[in-house]
Structure 1
Amino acid sequence: MASVEHATLQNGIKLAVNIIATDFGNPNAKVCECLLRRGFLTKPQISKFTELPPDKVKNCLQVLIQHNCVQAFALEQEGGGRDTTVVVTQYMALIDNIIQRLRFAKFITVVSKELDKEAREILEGLLQHGRLTLPQILDKAMEDAGSDANRDAYNESFCKLVRSRFVERFPAPEPFIPLPTDEENSKQSRPKARKFFVKEVTLEERALAAAIPMDAERFSLLDEHDGDSDEDKNGGNVSGSKVGEKRKRDSVELANELDLLKAKGEPLWRVNFEEFINRLRKKACVEYARATYDNTAAVILESILKGTKSTENTVSLSLDSIFEEVVKNEGPAMTLELVRCSLEQLHFCSEDDDDGYSINLKDIIDKARLEEVESLVLKRYGHDAFRIFRSLSTGRALDTDQVSEKTLTDKKDTPKILYRLWQDGFLQMEKISITTGQKQTNILSWSVKMDKIWRKVLDELHHAALNLSLRCTHELEKDREISNMSKSADKMMSKELESRLRRKRKVYFALSSSLMELDDAIMLFSNFPV
């Protein structure tokens, strides 16, 4: 789950709706937006709010569920009579999964580096179709590869993807959420009696948790050969659709077919976004160590993360184990003393009592986030504002005079800078009344609330990503228009149009690259759990 609550980020919703509209068309985007803005709803409610006919809503939900953008769940509610209950199917949009669609190219790159060509092709098929059975996965990969393809090689690559947790079984299509027990109700009615604050689990979180099976089942390969029926062995194609066909045209047909297959007991598989985000988080931490310290620090951190395979924020290893991993990855060039000296210099590394070291990934992410915000403040407001923000972000709350003295900022300019940062949401202001004798004085206390700043910056990043996405779509449409004109124009005119087309493609490539870089910042503030 993301560490920032997306529900409060309006630009995040707009970005998600634009992604769905681009990939699956406006009706699906309309259903998606309705769920994102209103929360979980039933089919009749979706039909009412979107003004779409019920059969259209059903088709849209099938497509969105197939592509991991919507989760259904059966909610038990109190009925009209005494001691009676009813079960109602509700639907909720998964905004995190929708925005993951921006990262499909990154996911493919990860698999290309770690596994083989066949694994990459299987992943591409799953990313395109959302969920497939094993026979469908193999058939579609074989279709793309041509006559020279080896089915056993693709089968083995699929096993590698599951063992690496890049692919998982599709979660329960409609998990059951029962009414809260009397004990749960009593706990909710007495929040003040709790000694410590406990974050309340939302209904959406309960539904997602109920849908995901235990790891033993989630990544199980026990029945991987069960799908090899006689029809499959004879080359029968279960799906009858090609990978290259447009999603907007065949998604509903494929969803209906997959539902039939599932009813027969054939397990469905999908891409495990969680594992890819974990890999990208580790990569971001390594690149931060490289930029902040040196290549040696990056190599040591990367070796530690490879050696543990942990998804936790804190990773602990003995010095000997760390050195062994470094030598395994980099050869004998690294010495034990060099590794020890480098570890002692890292701010996110601490030495344990038993000659071991603990790496805190949370410290890296927090520091990287803070530097991104400081860079934004410096570019937008100047050096004085940068010094003020840094001082307040690393210390306690200060009044206006204290801020001026601590940051050596002109007393006339300090209030203006503080007010501007406060108005734009980078600072918190609190009025404090101080009584000395019979005189009462009001002072302004300034502080930084990091969680609110993370949310603000993330919303701005979503807005920038939305603008880039819209511009990319606009340039792509221009490419199509110019390409069509070039085919119908005379030879001389065609050369001029082809030159324009090449320029447009360069612009599109630059915009796409910028969007990928911007998405790195979005993941930093959104998807990397801390």
Structure 2
Amino acid sequence: MRNKVVVKPQISLVTPYGIEYAVHVITDHFGNLVSKVCECILRRGPLTRSNLKRYTELSDSQIKNCLLVLIQHNCVQAFAVEQTGGFGEATRFVTQYLALFNNIVHRMRFSKFMKILSQEFDGECLDLLEGLFEHGRLTLKQMFDRAKSAEKEGKHVTLDYVQEILLKLMNARYVERCPAPEPVLAPKDEAPAKKRGPKEIEEPKSIEQEVLEAAVPVEAIRFSVLDPDVDGEKKDIKPSSMTAGEKRKYDALESDEFGATATVVYHANFEEFVRCLRHKACVDNVRARLDDGAATVLSAMLDATRNEETEVKAKRSASLSLSSIYEEVIKTEAGRNMTLEHLRAYLAELGTPPLVKVSDDSYNIEFEKIIELAQIEEMESIVLKRYGQDAYRIFRLLSREGRLMETEKIADVTFVEKKETSKILYKLWKDDYLHMEKLVLAAARQTQFMLWKVKKQNLLKHILDELFHATLNLRQRLAYELDQEKELLKIPADKRTGALNNRNIRLNKIRKILQSSQMKLDDSIMLFYDF
């Protein structure tokens, strides 16, 4: 049994501007009332309906309707917390509501997700997924009704046909069953103690992680499809490899949450789309850092280990032998001319620095290292664009060294004048790009030294907040431009002539630039937050 990888505790990366950005997305999609409830949960953490009523000053029915909208679109998850009663009182369960920040931000990535799917599947699959993005979650019957209403002349859509499309998407893990509507969190003192060995140190789980883990169905039914048979009974297409333990949990869930009288609901599996985007980012980074051949090898390794990679933020891929890598490489058009000698050379390239680690004739992709190098390059690029070449050299030195360095030493290594070095260091420190410490030597004459370093985790959060801020500004600017031209947008397109047409061309140009800039910024956000 494979040991778990050491995971260091990390600070929360949900930043102040990240919350403002998420609230703006909800406001744009669902209006001010829903966003008010969502913002309250985002800022205060999990809340009961009574507390939401107290903080938002909305009526109980308004809060209920807002929560239903947010739950329908996978932006809020309900869960129950056990509360022990007083003397002679029974234990009761209190329902709380948790905002799913990641799912809210993913709403702006639907076009990216659709592009991923379009590379693997046909139009029918795209239509089904588009319906899930539009409505949040749907039953098989609702998917069928939607497909039926959109069917083209001469084509007959059946329930079996829709189910077949759904099964394709679930086998590829792009669609999954919705989580339990209200999972119960086990009391902390009753939670089973986890064994801790030298390689089994786990990061403390956030409340969001605990709730989502409690809500997600077991793997055996998470990607199974409801199959109405000829007698009208409900059966599930489920993996034949299910273990006895999974079978018991499956049956329990079926009777409690997905029973004969319950309706099975499906939604898009954002985790799988993020995984695909992370793989693309890794390949693109290796192509820019090394060459096309190394990128081809890495891409083939990612394809070969996709089914074994179960965590979006896994540190390392499953092990692969040289022969299995070569078998996957020659399946691709770019790798058909590659020999084993070429493959060994590219794997050696990927091993320095260790983007791919070799051990006992097996190879593992070091995801953490690839992403870390990409993050460092992005940070350095931001410093170069904002502060100039000298600041870039200074920041790069401190970033690569990872230790405290004295001002004079930094000036000597980077060939920047000491006076100018001091100005740059102070500017970077003032803008939270550097950490500074003062060292005072008490001798006959007291001497003070300024020591500088890059604290990557703190800087990562700072840059992420700046990225959310910039993206929010672009969204607000686009909303302003659309509001200024709202009368123009009401006019039919064929009647926008003369001056109106010029205004329409200008608006479309601005919209295209702003939306394109948002997508580029979102790529950076994903690099620092999602990967």
- 1:63 is aligned to 69
Aligned-residue offset at 1:325: 0.7
How far 1:86 sits from its partner (Å)? 2.7
Counterpart contact for 1:3–1:527, Cα < 8 Å: no
Corresponding residue number in structure 2 for 1:308: 305
| CA displacement at 1:401 relative to structure 2 | 1.8
2:511 to 475, 492, 508: 508
The 1-side partners of 2:356 and 2:19 are apart by 40
- Does the residue aligned with 2:220 lie in a helix, a strand or coil? helix
Q: CA deviation at 1:275?
A: 0.6
Q: Which position in structure 2 is the counterpart of 1:399?
A: 406
Pick closer, same or farther for the CA change 1:195–1:457 going to 2, 3 Å: same
**What pairs up with 1:113-262 in 2 under 5 angstroms?**
113-147=119-153, 148-151=155-158, 152-181=160-189, 199-221=203-225, 223-225=226-228, 229=232
Q: Is 1:323–2:326 an aligned residue pair?
A: yes
Residue 412 (structure 1) shift: 1.2
Match of 1:85 in 2: 91
1:40, 1:91 within 8 Å by CA — same for their partners in 2?
yes
C-alpha deviations, 1:341-390, integer Å up to 9, x for none? 12211234445243333321211111111111101111111122111111
Q: How does 1:486-525 map to 2 (within 5 A)?
A: 494-525=497-528
Shift of 1:434: 3.0
Unmatched 5+ stretches in structure 2: 1-8, 234-256
SS of residue paired to 2:266? strand
| C-alpha separation in 2, matches of 1:454 and 1:327 | 38
Q: Do residues 413 (structure 1) and 420 (structure 2) align?
A: yes
Once the two structures are TM-superposed, the CA of residue 77 in structure 1 deviates from its matched residue by 2.0
Instruction: State the secondary structure of the residue aligned to 1:409.
Output: coil
Q: CA deviation at 1:295?
A: 1.8
Aligned residues with identical type, % of pairs: 44
Which among 290, 294, 299 is matched to residue 291 of structure 2? 294
Deviations 1:428-481 (A, max 9, x none): 112233344x55533222111111111011111101111111222233344542
Residues 38-72 of structure 1 deviation map (CA, whole Å, 9 limit, x = unaligned): 11111111111111111000000000011110011
CA distance 1:132–1:4, shift in 2 (3 Å): farther
Structure 2 CA distance, aligned partners of 1:398 and 1:141?
64
The question of 1:333 aligning with 2:337 is answered yes
Q: Which runs of 4+ in 1 moved over 4 A?
A: 182-185, 194-198, 226-230, 260-263, 485-488
CA shift for structure 1 position 271: 0.6
> Does the 8 Å contact 2:100/2:208 carry over to 1?
no
Distance 1:116 1:98 in 2: 27
Kept in 1: contact 2:147–2:157 (CA 8 A)? no
Which deviates more from structure 2 when the two are superposed, residues 505-514 or residues 345-354? 345-354
Secondary structure of 1:500 counterpart:
helix
2:32 pairs with 1:26? yes
TM-score, normalization: structure 2? 0.85
2:176–2:222 contact (8 Å) kept in structure 1: yes
- In structure 1, distance between residues paired with 2:394 and 2:265: 54
Deviation at 1:83, TM superposition (A): 7.2
CA contact 2:27–2:35 (8 Å) conserved in 1: yes
How far apart are 1:6 and its partner, in Å? 3.7
Corresponding residue for 1:191?
none
The structural deviation recorded for 1:426 is 0.9
Is the contact made by 2:441 and 2:448 (CA closer than 8 Å) also made in structure 1?
A: yes
Q: Would the aligned equivalents of 2:355 and 2:367 in 1 still touch at CA under 8 Å? A: no
Q: Secondary structure at the match of 2:188?
A: coil
Q: Tell me whether 1:277 sits opposite 2:274 in the alignment.
A: yes
Shift of 1:4: 6.3
Q: Are the structure 2 counterparts of residues 43 and 350 from structure 1 closer, same or farther at C-alpha, using a change threshold of 3 Å?
A: closer
* Structure (1 or 2) with the greater helix fraction: 1
| 1:428 aligned residue | 435
Other-structure match for 1:355: 361
In 2, Cα distance between the equivalents of 1:4 and 1:153? 47
Q: Distance in 1 between matches of 2:220 and 2:367?
A: 27
Structure 1 residue 229, shift from structure 2 partner: 5.0
Deviation of the 1:306 alpha carbon: 0.8
Code of the aligned partner of 1:14: E
What's the TM-score, normalizing by structure 1?
A: 0.85
- Secondary structure of the 1:394 match is helix
For 1:36, which of 37, 42, 45 is the aligned residue? 42
Which structure is richer in relative contact order (CA contacts within 8 A, separation 6 or more)?
Answer: 1
